[in-house]
């Protein structure tokens, strides 16, 4: 968006929010289902995209982000957090000062939240344990790898960055003539 543009009108902001959110959520759910069907052992094996840098490898995360909590299960508090995040994002999109990058960021955060919440509520392994499908592994140049993640996790990170960098900044004032 050019710096001199104003935030989009009400109908456009909701169309942008809904369109980006729906597309992002669909991509997340489809990619997790693909990983569940093709990468999960047996017989699934990692798909090396860039040797030593990037691969798709199935991981079933029963905890929270980066394993902060080992086994979450289906806790009610995640539903409350997701509801609060959703309400805040809708309020943010409704705000007249929210610009396009902020609306896109809000849609990405909502899609990421709902995508991981969907897994936590509706997916279980062979033993009935709820969890989230992670499948993207990025190797670090000095050895080891970043914790496995999924499209929803990437949406959350990118969405937060968009909100922080461009989301609610007021457009610059028009130069005086």
- Which residues are catalytic, by number? 134, 153
Give the whole-angstrom CA distance, residue 142 versus residue 125. 33
Report how far residue 1's alpha carbon sits from residue 107's, in angstroms, rounded to the nearest whole number. 17
Beta strands in 10-117 (DSSP E): 47-50, 54-61
Instruction: Tell me if residue 119 falls in helix, strand or coil.
Output: helix
Rg (alpha carbons) of the chain, rounded to whole number: 19
What tokens appear for 149 in the block?
């993640």
Handedness of CA 163, 168, 169, 172 (dihedral sign): positive
CB 84 within 8 A of CB 66: no
């Amino acid at each position: 968006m050019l710096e001199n543009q104003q935030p989009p009108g009400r109908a456009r902001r909701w169309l942008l929010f809904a369109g980006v959110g729906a597309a992002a959520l669909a991509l997340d759910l489809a990619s997790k289902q693909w990983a569940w069907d093709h990468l999960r052992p047996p017989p699934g094996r990692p798909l090396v995209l860039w040797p030593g840098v990037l691969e798709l490898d199935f991981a079933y995360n029963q905890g929270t982000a980066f394993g902060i909590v080992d086994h979450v299960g289906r806790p009610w508090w995640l539903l409350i957090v997701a509801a609060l995040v959703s309400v805040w994002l809708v309020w943010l999109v409704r705000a007249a000062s929210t610009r396009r990058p902020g609306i896109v960021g809000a849609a990405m955060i909502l899609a990421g939240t709902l995508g991981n919440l969907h897994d936590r509520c509706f997916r279980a392994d062979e033993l009935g344990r709820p969890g989230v499908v992670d499948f993207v592994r990025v190797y670090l140049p000095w050895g080891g790898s970043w914790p496995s993640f999924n499209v929803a996790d990437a949406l959350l990170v990118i969405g937060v960055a968009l909100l922080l960098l461009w989301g609610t900044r007021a457009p610059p004032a028009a130069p005086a003539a």
